[in-house]
């Protein structure tokens, strides 16, 4: 430390300025400090709530690469400034937000209640999107499908308060509800079946209840439901949704996830109606092979 102090004390002001900028930039992340219960406090102790800082103007985007979502900027003009009219304004392009619901931690890994997480993981793998960032209390990734920007999120707040994360992302990026796709498990659908709907209620799903509440009561956002079937015999639903899949079920889910990835591509590139037709139409087994 004495050597460092000596070097800095004998350095010109410009060197000190560069050192200060480097020192400050190395500690720019903020961390979650107010969690209501002890288990959530332990979980978030070492996790940053925001992995990067952005201005409020980040509601306009363009796909610059497969892993970046950049603000749209007007092209630089040499000479006289260009007159902006309605005809030459850059189009507003908001990103899609794809959210998978589930519970964090190894205890819930591969359980029925976490198929939303697994679908997002399948999308991330298929599209080469890293989910290693942590933002808005969620594992978070950015990328593109074609020229359409998207963000993937797996809220780590536990299922029943998933809306805390989803609402924060939607508010920060000013994402229209029609471009927020929530993926979650459904007891009322046969195992492995997908159902894509443009809007609707929560159907008794606590994660969806939280999302709707944090979107100011709006139900006008699309959702992709993944069937997990009904519990056998007299088993309670709360117990059933926390059971893991057996080998055969896992193999069947792989086909479901393949269909889900294809459905998302159609949704972003061709629109909701074509995607819904693809998802909701019966598919012969040979289509899945």
Where residue 225 falls among pLDDT bands split at 50, 70, 90? very high
Res 83: pLDDT = 52
Res 17: pLDDT = 43
Active site residue 214: no
Could you tell me if residue 71 is inside a domain? Answer: no
Tally of domains in the chain? 1
Cα distance between residue 90 and residue 176, in whole Å: 18
Catalytic residue, chosen from 113, 202, 205, 287, is 113
Where residue 282 falls among pLDDT bands split at 50, 70, 90? confident
Model pTM greater than 0.95?
no
Res 86: pLDDT = 55
Res 95: pLDDT = 94
Could you tell me if residue 220 is inside a domain? Answer: yes
Q: Among residues of the chain, what percentage have pLDDT more than 90?
A: 63
Could you tell me if residue 81 is inside a domain? Answer: no
What is the average pLDDT value for the chain, to the nearest integer?
78
Indicate if the pLDDT at residue 283 is higher than 60.
yes
Could you tell me if residue 107 is inside a domain? Answer: yes
Are the beta carbons of 206 and 155 closer than 8 angstroms? no
Are the beta carbons of 151 and 69 closer than 8 angstroms? yes
Q: What is the dihedral of CA 288, 179, 103, 132, to 10 degrees?
A: 90
Query: Which helix (DSSP H) or strand (DSSP E) does residue 274 occupy?
Result: helix 272-280
Domain that holds residue 133: 94-278
pLDDT, tens only, 36-73: 344 444 444 444 333 333 333 344 456 754 444 544 34
Mean pLDDT of 24-29: 38
Closest among 161, 174, 187, 263 to 222, alpha carbons compared: 263
pLDDT, tens only, 96-128: 999 999 999 999 999 999 999 999 999 999 999
Could you tell me if residue 18 is inside a domain? Answer: no
Res 75: pLDDT = 43
Could you tell me if residue 25 is inside a domain? Answer: no
Could you tell me if residue 257 is inside a domain? Answer: yes
When comparing pLDDT for 64 and 31, which is higher? 64
CATH (domain of 114): 3.40.50.1470
Mean pLDDT of 152-157: 97
Could you tell me if residue 165 is inside a domain? Answer: yes
Where residue 131 falls among pLDDT bands split at 50, 70, 90? very high
């Amino acid at each position: 430390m004495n050597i460092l102090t000596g070097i800095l004390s004998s350095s010109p002001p410009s060197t000190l300025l560069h050192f200060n900028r480097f020192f400050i930039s190395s500690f720019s992340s903020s961390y979650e400090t107010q969690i209501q219960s002890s288990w959530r406090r332990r979980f978030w102790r070492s996790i940053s709530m925001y992995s990067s800082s952005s201005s409020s103007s980040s509601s306009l985007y363009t796909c610059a690469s497969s892993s970046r979502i950049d603000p749209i900027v007007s092209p630089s003009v040499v000479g006289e400034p260009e007159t902006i009219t309605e005809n030459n304004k850059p189009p507003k392009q908001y990103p899609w937000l794809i959210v998978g619901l589930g519970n964090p931690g190894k205890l819930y890994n591969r359980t029925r209640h976490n198929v939303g997480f697994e679908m997002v993981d399948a999308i991330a793998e298929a599209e080469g999107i890293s989910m290693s960032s942590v933002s808005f209390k969620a594992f978070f990734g950015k990328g593109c499908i074609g020229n359409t920007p998207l963000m993937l999120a797996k809220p780590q707040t536990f299922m029943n308060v998933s809306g805390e994360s989803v609402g924060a992302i939607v508010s920060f990026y000013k994402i229209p509800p029609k471009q927020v796709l929530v993926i979650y498990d459904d007891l009322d659908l046969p195992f492995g079946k997908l159902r894509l709907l443009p809007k609707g209620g929560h159907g008794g799903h606590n994660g969806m209840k939280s999302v709707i509440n944090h979107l100011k009561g709006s139900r006008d956002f699309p959702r992709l439901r993944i069937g997990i079937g009904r519990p056998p015999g007299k088993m309670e639903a709360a117990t059933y949704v926390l059971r893991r899949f057996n080998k055969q079920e896992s193999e069947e889910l792989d086909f479901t996830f393949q269909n889900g990835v294809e459905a998302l591509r159609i949704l972003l590139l061709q629109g909701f109606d074509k995607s819904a037709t693809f998802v909701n139409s019966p598919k012969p087994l040979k289509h899945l092979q």
